[in-house]
């Protein structure tokens, strides 16, 4: 089993729908992240969390929210999806002292 | 804040040829540096990392990278490319006091027969 698991792996939805992407990890890391990948733009940070009570915005948090339900679970929500949120989303965990990231397989979201 | 630039968007090399992917970073002190690879339809896998010490770092799959402080660079190299190396490569930079890695925009590698 993967150390960082994302569900769903693929999702097609319509504009205005609420979407949740879920992430769970078995690495025991406190730090968890959500990144968004778009062609030609690399990975951009949406939100990050250092523990259950610590949630922080990244560079592109508008239109997104997150929930850290437990040390091992970190979910990303799109309250009202729009087409420019069509992208590949990655959850990652990190080693605290170096920031080395461990990625999930990604969730491909298409908003029509 | 730290940042990273990958000057080459696409690179094409012949199988068996050598490879160098460029990465330049911006940070006032010694950063933490990483190279990740993303094969088609896959997540990101760590190739190698640099924190301190020996500036030539060996990674998986026969890759290596050299940290050059004077040039603010961390270029990735491989002496002989295999067709399976075709992928997207991302350089990332972090800081000892940072909260997250910053990624370059990636270099797409095509390997021709």
pLDDT in tens, A39-54: 888 999 999 999 999 9
- Integer Cα distance of A110 and A13 in angstroms: 6
Nearest CA in chain A to B90: A42
**Judging by beta carbons within 10 Å of its beta carbon (0-12, 13-18, 19+), is residue B72 exposed, middle or buried?**
middle
- Integer Cα distance of A67 and A71 in angstroms: 11
Is A40 in CB contact (< 8 Å) with chain B?
A: yes
The shortest CB-CB distance from B43 to any of A33, A58, A105 is to A105
- Contact at CB, A99 and B44, closer than 8 angstroms: no
- Contact at CB, A42 and B106, closer than 8 angstroms: yes
Contact residues on chain A for B53, CB-CB shorter than 8 A: none
- Integer Cα distance of A57 and A105 in angstroms: 22
User: Around Cβ B52, how many Cβ atoms within 10 Å?
Assistant: 9
Q: For residues B108 and B100, which has the higher predicted lDDT (pLDDT)?
A: B108
* Strand-pair partners of B101: none
Q: What is the CA radius of gyration of chain A?
A: 13
Q: Phi then psi for B85, rounded to 5 degrees?
A: -80, -10
Q: Which of A90, A46, A100 lies closest to B95, judged by CA?
A: A100
Contact residues on chain A for B103, CB-CB shorter than 8 A: 35, 42-44
pLDDT above 70: percentage of residues in chain A = 99
CA distances from A20 to A5, A41, A66, B41 (A): 14, 23, 9, 21
- Contact at CB, B51 and A98, closer than 8 angstroms: yes
Q: Quick one: pLDDT at residue A1? A: 61
Q: Quick one: pLDDT at residue A106? A: 95
Is A101 in CB contact (< 8 Å) with chain B?
A: yes
pLDDT above 90: percentage of residues in chain B = 79
**Mean pLDDT score, B77-97:** 93
Q: Which of B56, B12, B83, B49 lies closest to A101, judged by CA?
A: B49
Which residues contact residue B113 at a Cβ distance below 8 angstroms, ignoring those fewer than 6 apart?
A: B14, B15, B83
Q: State how beta strands B73-78 and A101-103 pair.
A: unpaired
- Contact at CB, A98 and B49, closer than 8 angstroms: yes
pLDDT one digit per residue (tens) for chain A, 112 residues: 679 999 999 999 999 999 999 999 999 999 999 999 998 889 999 999 999 999 999 999 999 999 999 999 999 999 999 999 999 999 999 987 788 899 999 999 999 9
The shortest CB-CB distance from B43 to any of A48, A58, A104 is to A104
Biggest CA–CA distance in chain B, Å, is: 45
- Contact at CB, A90 and B43, closer than 8 angstroms: yes
pLDDT in tens, B44-61: 999 999 998 899 999 999
- Give the distance from residue A57's alpha carbon to the nearest chain B alpha carbon, in angstroms: 11
Q: Can you tell me whether residue B85 is helix, strand or coil?
A: helix
Q: Can you tell me whether residue B60 is helix, strand or coil?
A: helix
């Amino acid at each position: 089993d993967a150390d960082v698991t994302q569900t769903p792996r693929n999702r097609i939805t319509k504009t205005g729908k609420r979407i949740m992407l879920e992430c769970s990890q078995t690495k025991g890391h406190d730090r968890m992240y959500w990144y968004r990948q778009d062609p030609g733009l690399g990975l951009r940070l949406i939100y990050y969390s250092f523990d259950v009570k610590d949630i922080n915005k990244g560079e592109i948090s508008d239109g997104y929210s997150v929930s850290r339900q437990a040390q091992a679970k970190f979910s990303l929500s799109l309250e009202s999806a729009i087409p420019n949120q069509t992208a590949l989303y990655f959850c990652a965990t990190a080693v605290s002292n170096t920031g080395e990231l461990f990625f999930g397989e990604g969730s491909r979201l298409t908003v029509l | 804040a730290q940042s990273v630039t990958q000057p080459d968007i696409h690179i094409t090399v012949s199988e068996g040829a050598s490879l160098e992917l460029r990465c330049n970073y911006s940070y006032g002190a010694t950063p933490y540096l990483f190279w990740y690879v993303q094969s088609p339809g896959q997540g990101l896998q760590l190739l190698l990392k640099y924190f301190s010490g020996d500036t030539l770092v060996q990674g998986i799959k026969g890759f290596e990278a050299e940290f050059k402080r004077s040039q603010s660079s961390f270029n990735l190299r491989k002496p002989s490319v295999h067709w399976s190396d075709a992928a997207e490569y991302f350089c990332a930079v972090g800081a000892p006091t940072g909260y997250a890695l910053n990624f370059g925009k990636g270099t797409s590698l095509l390997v021709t027969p």
